[in-house]
Amino acid sequence: MWFTEAWTPNINFQVKIKEHLYSKKTPFQQLEVYDSYELGRFFTLDGIMMANEKDEFIYHEMIIHTPMSINPKIKHVLVIGGGDGGSVRELSKYPTIETIDMVEIDEDVVRACQKYFPITTTGFSDPRVNLMFDDGLKYVKETKKTYDLIIVDSTDPIGPGEGLFTQEFYMNCHRVLSEDGILINQHESPYFEKEKIEMKRAHQKIKSLFKIASVYQAFIPTYPSGHWLFGFASKRYDPVLDFKDTFIHQFGVKTKYYNKEIHTGSFALPNYVKDELENI
């Protein structure tokens, strides 16, 4: 039995399945959980790989430790999406953080991950975590709170995730961020046409709103092409010049992927990617 994801109409990604553990049509998307021979357990939303036991650490370390190594004064964090809990797990390693608000639209994703992915959901028991089931687009529009860091750990810009790639959403993120604020978003990929178009669109909107708008990369083998990007936007900080390598070590945060060379190196993009981002 195989799980097949069409990366393009001409390229499929396949994973040999040991067991199909769970399936549910939620009010927002189709949720499937599998066990596999080489990736361990993994789950998909609308047929797209979300997270698996073998390489989820790459994405979650890169989306959290990169901004956390820039501003040691980060106290109030908002996570939009992130239903598997991996981002919250990494955030909970910092005692300097005072509150972690997480706004996930689909409660079924959280409950399924709590049952099948204990590896990523450990952070939900942290008393600083306030888990809300709501649309992130609506939350940032209505909240009166101010945040030092916003993590947009979203699906692709289809279905419920579409609103998290709009100008309105980024404008409201800018509004609720403090003067030191940093916005990190799942920024698609430069390789295949579909993700490249979304990467350019997101970058254009974020660049029009933030003083600093950079892009960094990681190698995530189970995402389309394996070349995956994150957006780093800030009102004040440069992600390389303001990098504080020592901060992460103060708390004994252990990482399997992220380190100081990866931090600065991940912002060194290939020329073809820089050209695509500059020629919107």
Catalytic machinery residues: 153
Positive or negative, the Cα torsion across 129, 135, 137, 138?
negative
Answer yes or no whether residue 199 interacts with ligand SAM by CB under 6 A: no
Task: Supply the minimum distance, in Å, between the C-beta of residue 25 and ligand SAM.
Answer: 13
Stretch that binds ligand SAM, among 1-9, 88-96, 157-165, 247-255 (CB under 6 A): 157-165
Listing DSSP states for 89-118 in one string gives: HHHTT-TT--EEEEEES-HHHHHHHHHH-T
Task: Supply the minimum distance, in Å, between the C-beta of residue 186 and ligand SAM.
Answer: 6
Which residues inside 70-109 make contact with ligand SAM, applying CB under 6 A? 80-84, 86, 103-106, 109
Task: Supply the minimum distance, in Å, between the C-beta of residue 192 and ligand SAM.
Answer: 16
Binding residue count for ligand SAM, defined by CB under 6 A: 26
User: How far is Cα 46 from Cα 211, in angstroms, rounded to an integer?
Assistant: 35
Answer yes or no whether residue 195 interacts with ligand SAM by CB under 6 A: no
DSSP E strands, the chain: 2-8, 11-25, 30-36, 41-45, 48-52, 76-81, 99-104, 129-133, 147-153, 177-186, 212-219, 227-234
Select from 120, 64, 126 the least CA-distant residue to 92: 126
Answer yes or no whether residue 55 interacts with ligand SAM by CB under 6 A: no
Pick the binder of ligand SAM from 32, 41, 42, 56 (CB under 6 A): 56
Contacting positions for ligand SAM (CB under 6 A): 50-51, 56, 59, 80-84, 86, 103-106, 109, 135-137, 153-155, 160-161, 163-164, 186
